[in-house]
Amino acid sequence: MIVKFFRRGKGSGAGPINYLLVAKGGKPREGAKVLYGDPKLTEQLINATPYQQKYKAGVLSFTEDATQFTDLQKKDFMQRFEDTLFTGLEPDQYDILWVEHTDKGGRLELNFVIPCQELRSGKRLQPFYAGADLLRVNAFKNIINQEYGLTDPNDPERKRLINPYVNNAPRPTPYDRPSKSKEKEQEKEDDEIIANPESTFALKEAIDRRMRYSLAEGSLNNRSSVLYSLEDMGLTIKRATKSSISVAHPNMKRNVRLKGTIYEEGFQALAERAHLIEGRQRDYERVSESRGNRDLRTWTKGMEIKRAYHQGLYGDIKAPEPFNLGILLNNKIKTEIEDSTLRCSTSLRP
Catalytic residues: 19
Could you write out the DSSP letters of every residue in 81-128?
A: HHHHHHTT--GGG---EEEEE-TTTTEEEEEEEEESB-TTT--B--S-
- Give the CA radius of gyration of the chain: 24
b/e sequence 178-192, b meaning 16+ C-beta within 10 Å: eeeeeeeeeeeebee
| Sign of the CA dihedral running 128, 132, 138, 140 | negative
* Burial status of residue 38 (CB atoms within 10 A of its CB: 0-12, 13-18, 19 or more): buried
Q: Are 95 and 332 in contact (CB under 8 A)?
A: yes
Which of 322, 339, 327, 335 lies closest to 45, judged by CA? Answer: 327
Q: Residue 263 corresponds to which amino acid?
A: Y
* Burial status of residue 291 (CB atoms within 10 A of its CB: 0-12, 13-18, 19 or more): middle
- Three-class SS state of 56: strand
Longest dimension (CA), the chain: 74
CA distance 5 to 111: 10
Could you write out the DSSP letters of every residue in 166-223?
A: -TTPPPP-GGGPPPGGGHHHHHHHHHHHHHS-S-HHHHHHHHHHHHHHHHHHT---BH
Which of 25, 26, 42 lies closest to 34, judged by CA? Answer: 42
CA distance 55 to 19: 14
CA distance 290 to 25: 51
